Structure 1
């Protein structure tokens, strides 16, 4: 299936790195409003450049448009793609407002098209490993989840020097304007809703805690750099999700059930370490030894292993993944969409599910201006 890329900024290189995992996808070309950046991207990757967006959208061979533009452009580019009769795969969020995202989903449905949304980490091997453990009732009924999308104090790093493989500048100032919640909460939300179903309400708090993020940030109107939300699921499960740009890096997920717990070390890792602790199983020797050592010392140790045993992945080929900072098969989301289209099915992270994830991210990011608890308007 032929695809085309709109937007050749920093994240586009992650898609190009992982496109090789999916030979069923054929990249027809790319376009960007920044002509210099488009030329640099196409030269590095050996990709054809479209002269303008109209030509790209008018290419009859292109079935899927990958919308990798900046968040405030997502709505307009996706709307134009759908209007041209193309299926669209959109980076997160679908739009900067719920009504716009709702409009796009309705438009796709009316035209018999699919609108799928990133992130693709909800399609990872780690996700399937956890889903299988839950299906096998390894920890009984899940009751509580702790999830984190803490990216560390990025603004204190030398982010102005960061470049993608093909030379794109990491858009730090723009990321601070959009905010860490809209940029990153989706990586946890995609796991949460696909594992545990729809959310009924969210009680959230968001704040701008570090208004001075260094040179160039003084004149910015910045989004919250910290948010925390408690999600009440229709099933009765409760989840806590925090997102931030100051606390030490933590992209973990812990599920607590009647009969034990599951711990995922890194939601950005396709094959993250996943540990299972069952309430009626003996604790691993190392954990018991360290607990006794703490009692003898009268102090908590700075490090202890994840509780339980590490689950094994089935043998299989390892996909090509970005080297840093994530190990996500970005193009896997487009491939899943293409496979669903070919089979006449709805892609997993599309339609009502994509709208639900978008609404959750917007509710967390906009917690300062919304009544609490926030009652979800979407479901799936």
Structure 2
């Protein structure tokens, strides 16, 4: 039986290099070719990686050799390209968000179901080793019943950095202006939401707030309409868990998640790290080092200028082979989602981040971005799918 392994990229911008770096982890996946609407960027990318360029999107979609189309274009192009790929009979893996409206997302999910195709969505960080280690602790009852979660997706004040000179491995500039126009919530909240939904199931209701707190992000942006650069949402899950998620472009970088349960707490230090340190404080006990630091702070009458994670660091099982990952801070195995999709298609099963789960995540991120108050989710999925 033929294995779904032939893929093609639509889009060769900054994020495409992350996918190329992690493609090395999956020798069964074969990149047939790529296309980009930027006629100057496309040949540069193809020369760098020695990949075949397509002459047009139509040429890529009509290539019978291609099984899965990887949509790495800008968010406002996602819907049209996803739809075109599905109509051409291709499975689709799309960078976040799936679409810029819930109505468009519903059309895509329905079209995929109608054509018996699989459409999956990024990000892949909830398929990480860190996620599996966390899931194992929860399933083992170490924390007891989880009740409250604090998730951070703060990227730091990147607009105050020298971002204009940031380039990918193959020379693509970081699309800072465009990211400021789209907004950090649509770009980044999925990294935390995918973990939350993967661990705790569907959200029933939420209340959110978003705002543009730094309207001046440099001369390149002063004539543009910028999206919110801060959002915070409180989520109530069907399972009873309550979570607070912040997402921003100003507060110091923090991509951690803290899970509080009846019997203890667990902290994942960095959701962008495939093997992030994970700390467990069973029964909320402090380590010896924590007790020493607490004593020093008590005597000094002030906090020490560093963060000390409570509990012990949980060891990972030995890896058969270390995954090749992008440089810090994006140490995510970007291609793992596509590998999982290909395996699921082969086995006839639905990948987790597809179908109703993907639609649910899209509704969450869109309403977090919009700052929706007292919002009742209209999408859901069976917890057994998690």
Give the TM-score taking structure 1 as reference length.
0.98
CA RMSD across the alignment: 0.8
Aligned to 1:275: 279
User: 1: CA distance between counterparts of 2:322 and 2:132?
Assistant: 15
Runs of 4+ with >6 A deviation: none
Aligned to 2:220: 216
Query: Contact between 1:287 and 1:304, CA under 8 Å: does it hold in 2?
Result: no
Q: 1:284 Cα shift?
A: 1.4
User: 2: CA distance between counterparts of 1:330 and 1:249?
Assistant: 21
Aligned to 2:131: 127
User: 2: CA distance between counterparts of 1:363 and 1:156?
Assistant: 27
- 1:272 is paired with a residue whose SS is coil
Query: Contact between 1:290 and 1:304, CA under 8 Å: does it hold in 2?
Result: no
Per-residue CA deviation, residues 343-368 of structure 1 (Å, 9 max, x unaligned), is: 1110121111111111111001011x
User: 2: CA distance between counterparts of 1:147 and 1:134?
Assistant: 16
Q: 1:283 Cα shift?
A: 2.6
Q: 1:325 Cα shift?
A: 2.4
Task: State which of 332, 340, 347 in structure 2 corresponds to 1:343.
Answer: 347
Query: Contact between 2:151 and 2:256, CA under 8 Å: does it hold in 1?
Result: yes
Q: Does 1:374 align with 2:375?
A: yes
Superposition pairs of residues 165-244 of structure 1, within 5 angstroms? 165-244=169-248
Per-residue CA deviation, residues 257-288 of structure 1 (Å, 9 max, x unaligned), is: 000000000000000000000117x5311111
Task: State which of 22, 26, 33 in structure 1 corresponds to 2:30.
Answer: 26
Q: Does 1:158 align with 2:159?
A: no
User: 1: CA distance between counterparts of 2:328 and 2:141?
Assistant: 34
Superposition pairs of residues 258-273 of structure 1, within 5 angstroms? 258-273=262-277
Query: Contact between 1:97 and 1:362, CA under 8 Å: does it hold in 2?
Result: yes
Q: Does 1:55 align with 2:73?
A: no
User: 2: CA distance between counterparts of 1:303 and 1:27?
Assistant: 44
Query: Contact between 1:94 and 1:117, CA under 8 Å: does it hold in 2?
Result: yes
Q: Does 1:65 align with 2:69?
A: yes
Q: 1:139 Cα shift?
A: 0.5
Q: 1:305 Cα shift?
A: 1.7
Equivalent pairs, count: 376
- Any gaps of 5 or more consecutive residues in structure 2? 382-386
User: 2: CA distance between counterparts of 1:70 and 1:99?
Assistant: 18
- Any gaps of 5 or more consecutive residues in structure 1? none
Task: State which of 288, 293, 301 in structure 1 corresponds to 2:291.
Answer: 288
